[in-house]
Amino acid sequence: MDAAKEEFLKEFGRDYGYSGGPKTIDEIRATEFKRLGGMTYLDHAATTLYSELQMEAIFKDLTANIYGNPHSQSDSSFATSDIVRNARQQVLDYFNASPKDYKCIFTSGATAALKLVGEAFPWSHQSSFVYTIENHNSVLGIREYALEQGAQAYAIDIEDAEHDAFTGNLVSVQATKHQILRRNEVKFLDKDHTGSAYNLFAFPSECNFSGSKFSLELVKIVKEDSIRYSNGSPSFNGRWKVLIDAAKGCVTDPPDLSKFPADFVVISFYKLFGYPTGLGALIVHTDAAKLLKRTYFSGGTVAASIADIDYVKRREGIEELFEDGTIPFLSIASLCHGFKVLNSLTIPAISRHTSSLATYLRNILVALRHANGTSVCTLYGSCSSKTLCNKMGPVVSFNLRQPDGSWVGHREVEKLASLCGIQLRTGCFCNPGACAKHLGLSHSDLSRNIEAGHICWDDYDIINGKPTGAVRVSLGYMSTYEDVKKFIDFVATSFVSTRTNARHGLQFCGRSIHFTDIGFESKYSAPGFDLKSITVYPIKSCAGFSMDRWPLGSRGLLHDREWLLQSLTGETLTQKKVPEMSLVRTYIDLSQGILYLYSPRCKERLQITLNSNPCNDKREEISLNGQIYQVQGYDKRVDTWFSAAIGRPCTLLRHISSSHFVSLCERDDVGTCRESRNCLNFPNEAQFLLISEESVSDLNNRLNSNVGKDIRRTSLQVDPMRFRPNLVISGGRPYAEDEWRNIKIGNKYFRSLGGCNRCQMINFVIDAEEVRKTNEPLATLATYRRVKGKILFGVLLRYECEAEEGKTGDVWLQLEKV
């Protein structure tokens, strides 16, 4: 055992590892999660992992028993009804809820349960929907139902809490009210309302962004109308109902409904024990259930109906009234096996185990320092009795900083973690209020981000110098010290600047790759360099072919990426999602005017005549990389061939014409931007990609050096063609191309647009006509070619065709001295 683990166990050994349980954590991982292998899974807030023994028990159950539709009256149906009844009780027991006071309604997930409450709640124009700013989008969506019925909605920030001096019980809460939202108010003002309106207050038991846990005493405070607003706003009349989003919090701290009688609690079972997905529950108080109104009725929710007159008699049972159609009874049958796992370990033990790991991780991250003494990590979320968030769940959210104080993009962290076999999540985690609050983003910041094109799940991780999201590490009952230690080592190695790596120029500030700025008019040849290959890729993401000479045009090499494959839903297909595209080989015979296509999955080769119009006379427009292209398709024969070649339905489209130019920005000192105006077919960024054999050789030396450090790894050599270059050169020193602003090949002039940002495509290996994904060479490139969140290798070029103006005849590029 290493010293670091000994230190960890010295501090957390009493809570870590289930030492008093049926199995230790090491035994659990060895026997129930063998499939993890070397992977480190740290995304349990999104979904935890199912146990292999759990799945074996489910499979044995389903193969040994016959479960019929519970709406039938057969013996197998009665068996299903018994299973469902027992499952409802298990759910209620988990929340210490009496079956007299609460009912368990099965839904397709926590989101569906929230939607059910929103659409069935008795809203009026006198109602209020109030929610803490830290809430999931699925909770925020309830306000659409409230606003449509004339109710008001607003978010609050809890600022302070007052406790009884003698008992310590919570007495009142001080809060700040955000903007009050109203819609359709006038439409409902003339309606008479008898009695008081009903209001709904929603909060999460644990914030899925920060891990902060809300005190469940808030249930009582709301029901007693004991929230005081700092701006002097009055409380609102009406009776309050309280909704707890326990989807995240119930994993380690399920609300005790005997002590904190909320009206509605929502959960998803895959967050508890990994399987089944697509199943959740609404735990509803019987009094609150009586207030919910349904419009739609379905099979299973009615006692009787008549088809040709307006008559329906609904069932009286709460569960039956709200469970539309046949419930997913086989998934429900699997719940007992998941609860068996949790009960064997006990929830308090799981809570202590995961908390020990999360606390250790927070302590280490907050202590990390760069060589210049600046902090590496900014953590989000804290414990404070004043704000009712007096505990932290097993979630650690943070952002990293460079030595100069600038932010590291969260997507950069996620991509590099993935290369190291670490699975985590980044972004706002569908919690926009918590995200904006913790990141300090104002409404104007959010508006500017949206105007800049930022949406959920994109790569815009830093805009105007501010992060748009965070990195989240979340832990589960099967997480280990080794998982956390691997992540800590990853952060330290990849993002912490030390005196040693600063002296050797490793790029924690994004300045280690130097790009010179030779004037635009200074076009030059690079002595001692040879152009070794010219490669054309007719179809985007499919294989190319190499020639000694090839025509040039205003869009680059003739016919280069002039075609693409599109899914039946309109999605442009690339190797990132369809690696099998690399198996489609291409060749163009200019003398015959034919594009030849080959695939190991197709018996016949395909021929497409270049100068004939596609069979589909109808032109259409498609959008790609923010630009509009006019394209035409082909007949069914062509599409059928490609569908078989890549193993999914698709269509082939050809770029016919376009009047657009890609606007590119001015070059900066690290060569990651683009410039001028560029005419393209279907490449992502530029007309040409140039790769140096010497740079590839240096990369291979580094790959072999890494192999020498790990006896489990085999020797690895990559070929220049792994990077899908159009041009391969030889000569000079490695990475000399980084410094070029302009280059002359023969009598042809090209302008460098900077480095090429590499992605997972370069990790695909074709092995025996199968595509296999590895971590290399991208993982090694990330250790020394990282600039401002990008991993650069090779340079992008634009053909300076205006230099050829006035010349007659075709313009050809050929293998020669550079």
Residue 264 burial class via C-beta count within 10 angstroms: exposed 0-12, middle 13-18, buried 19 and up:
buried
Q: How far apart are CA 726 and CA 532, in angstroms?
A: 11
Are 57 and 32 spatial neighbours (Cβ–Cβ below 8 Å)? no
Place of tokens 């023969």: 746
Contact 431, 134 (CB under 8 A): yes
Helices (H) and strands (E) in the chain, counts: 23, 43
For residue 807, how many other CB atoms are within 10 A of its CB? 9
Active-site residue, selected from the candidate residues 430, 435, 542, 756: 430
DSSP code at position 614: P
Query: In Å, how far from its chain's centre is CA 610?
Result: 41
**Residue listed under structure tokens 């680059």:** 556
Give the DSSP letter string of 756-791. Answer: EEP-GGGGEEEETTEEEE-STTHHHHHHH-EETTEE
Distance CA 321, CA 300 (A): 8
How many Å apart are CA 219 and CA 222, to the nearest integer? 5
> Can you read off the two tokens belonging to residue 700?
């291979």
801 catalytic per annotation: no
- Distance from C-alpha of 118 to C-alpha of 137, rounded to nearest angstrom: 13
State which amino acid sits at residue 170: L
Q: Are 476 and 44 in contact (CB under 8 A)?
A: yes
3-state secondary structure of 502: helix
Residue 152 sits at φ, ψ, to 5 deg, of -100, 155
**CB-CB neighbours of 793 under 10 Å:** 24
Q: Which two tokens stand for residue 85?
A: 């009844």
Paired strand residues for 206: 213
CB-CB neighbours of 345 under 10 Å: 18
Asked if 327 and 70 touch (Cβ cutoff 8 Å), the reply is yes
Q: Which two tokens stand for residue 608?
A: 């497409």
Instruction: Please give the Cα distance from 130 to 240 (Å, whole number).
Output: 10
In degrees and rounded to multiples of 5, residue 624 shows phi and psi of -145, 125
Residues forming a β-bridge with 41: 423
| Measured distance CA(735)–CA(513) in Å, rounded | 9
Q: How far apart, in Å, do the first and last CA atoms of the chain sit?
A: 57
Is the bond preceding residue 527 a cis peptide, omega within 30 degrees? no
Contact assessment for residue 807 and residue 552, using Cβ atoms and an 8 Å cutoff: no
Beta-strand relationship, 466-467 and 462-463: antiparallel
Contacts of 676 (CB under 8 A, 6+ apart): 664, 751, 798
User: What is d(CA 608, CA 479) in angstroms, rounded to the nearest whole number?
Assistant: 54
Q: Which two tokens stand for residue 59?
A: 């499979």
Reading phi first (left if > 0) and then psi (alpha if -120 to 50, else beta), residue 632 is in beta
- Pairing type for strands 549-553 and 556-557 reads antiparallel
Query: Dihedral (C-alpha) 454, 460, 464, 470: value to the nearest 10 degrees?
Result: 100
Are residues 546 and 534 in contact, defined by beta-carbon separation less than 8 angstroms?
yes
Q: Is the dihedral of CA 214, 215, 221, 226 positive or negative?
A: negative
* Cα 482 to Cα 422: distance, rounded to the nearest angstrom: 12
Task: Give me the helices (H) in 259-324, please.
Answer: 270-273, 286-289, 318-322
Give the active site residues.
Answer: 430
